[in-house]
Homo-oligomer: A and B are copies of this chain.
Amino acid sequence: MSTVIKNGTIVTADLTYKSDVLVEGGKIVAIGEGLVGDKTLDATGCYVMPGGIDPHTHLEMPFMGTYSSDDFESGTRAALAGGTTMVVDFALPSPGQGLLDAMQMWDNKSTRANCDYSFHMAITWWGEQVFNEMEAVVKRGINTFKHFMAYKGALMVNDDELYASFQRCAELGATPLVHAENGDVVAELQAKLLAAGNNGPEAHAYSRPSQVEGEATNRAIMIADMAGAPLYVVHTSCEEAHEAIRRAKMAGKRVWGEPLIQHLTLDESEYANPDWDHAARRVMSPPFRDKKHQDSLWAGLQSGTLSCVATDHCAFTTEQKRFGVGDFTKIPNGTGGLEDRMPMLWTHGVETGRLTPNEFVAVTSTNIAKILNCYPKKGAILVGADADIVVWDPAKTKTISASKQQSAIDYNVFEGKEVKGLPRYTLTRGQVAVTDGDMTCESGHGAFVAREPNGTV
């Protein structure tokens, strides 16, 4: 059965033109005028764009014997509702656990996914087993390894481990990723704040100032440079980190930065909310920042010094958040965003004139596919590409509300925000999953996307 998308304007990272798109067998089989198919989707007044890719999610993330509330089923359903057709999640080995073991666990979690997905593998400790299994992981189609420079005593790895792992990545043609905050300093500041009686969610922000992120970003860039590897910096939230990335790029280094939709549109004043729940629900790392950092992030998207927009979607419920009442360091870190990333970015980016529609596609999809090396299977409107497509209606509006969302969390950090620009249709490998807000996605439809090493970008 074939499907044709008619009367729309195709918008890709580098082109805008009117044409129909014919889909069959999960792929784009033709682009041209006057195409016909078994089924017709009307895209009048709409942009036909590559579906969004969220390069940074934590679905069914383990926490104190429970899990974050969005699993691969509800998480990918939320994604599709917002025009995102692929997510890349993090396989997180426990200290001492093998990488292949962890991958098995994440494979198991993802069986009910509604859209395609891939994994990053985290390097949470170092040893010969890790060194060896990295090769097997790459052979399994994972070419990206995540490193935490914070979360001391838990996920954090030290500089010599970073160097060793980055060097291994270089050998394997893989790309290291970093969560860049100086974990030693964060731990010291946390202790100091708690000792002074500052135990509320606002102290979370005080304990992770932008300088601490900027420093770690700068350090990771140097270590990658010495090890001969490129570097992808997740959740770049501030001018200091952006400055380090810019400076590296100016020296010809291959470094990418990933701002989150939350940091682009929300600020630290959220933590001043007298409602503990309100503030705690916004606790994530890095925390929301002063507005001047937002200017920096938007300019980075405009100039290309920042490359991708993600969510770090990690949907802890209010109940889980309350584990940290009386001690902000125990509040689980994470917020939602998967469902709202595309409409929020369109509203605050394209509607305001900051970004062109082509740039919107680049930072939500195409750049990500290129950097993660699954382009043009993903991130493209090209014959032969997967039919992961969003038919975007720039006139469609809604007010964001947890009460109406697909995501399983009981709140939404964007609650009450108006958005303009929403999917009319979302297609995952040719299957229509969303029609004007109605969900017709299918649990288990999503497939793992293997990504080769040695990307040419």
- Taking the closest CB of chain B, its distance from the CB of A81, in whole angstroms, is 28
Name the residue in A182, A189, A358 with the highest tally of chain B Cβ atoms < 10 Å from its Cβ.
A182
Partner of A215, one of B222, B252, B300: B222
What chain B residues lie within 8 Å of A376 (beta carbons)?
A: 14-15
- Taking the closest CB of chain B, its distance from the CB of A351, in whole angstroms, is 16
What chain B residues lie within 8 Å of A358 (beta carbons)?
A: 456-457
Kindly specify which of A50-58, A133-141, A206-214, A280-288 makes contact with the partner chain.
A206-214
Partner of A250, one of B222, B303, B370: B303
Kindly specify which of A155-163, A430-438, A443-451 makes contact with the partner chain.
A155-163
Contact A219 B223 (CB under 8 A): no
A198 at the binding interface (Cβ < 8 Å): no
A185 at the binding interface (Cβ < 8 Å): yes
Partner of A182, one of B13, B159, B185, B302: B159
Interface of A is mostly: helix
- Complex Cα distance A218/B222, Å? 11
- Taking the closest CB of chain B, its distance from the CB of A230, in whole angstroms, is 12
- Taking the closest CB of chain B, its distance from the CB of A16, in whole angstroms, is 5
Partner of A457, one of B185, B223, B356: B356
- Complex Cα distance A106/B354, Å? 38
> Total interface residues on A, using CB and 8 Å?
54
- Complex Cα distance A184/B456, Å? 30
A305 at the binding interface (Cβ < 8 Å): yes
What chain B residues lie within 8 Å of A246 (beta carbons)?
A: 250
- Taking the closest CB of chain B, its distance from the CB of A451, in whole angstroms, is 15
What chain B residues lie within 8 Å of A383 (beta carbons)?
A: 383
Contact B357 A456 (CB under 8 A): yes
Residue on B nearest A301 in the bound complex, by CB:
B252
- Taking the closest CB of chain B, its distance from the CB of A218, in whole angstroms, is 5
Contact B212 A188 (CB under 8 A): no
Contact B215 A211 (CB under 8 A): no
- Complex Cα distance A218/B219, Å? 8
What chain B residues lie within 8 Å of A15 (beta carbons)?
A: 375-376
Q: Within A186-237, which residues are at the interface with B (CB < 8 Å)?
A: 187-189, 209, 211-212, 214-215, 218-219, 222-223, 225-226
What chain B residues lie within 8 Å of A251 (beta carbons)?
A: 299
What chain B residues lie within 8 Å of A254 (beta carbons)?
A: 302
A-B contact pairs, 8 of them (CB 8 A): A159-B185, A160-B187, A164-B188, A189-B226, A215-B222, A218-B219, A251-B299, A304-B304
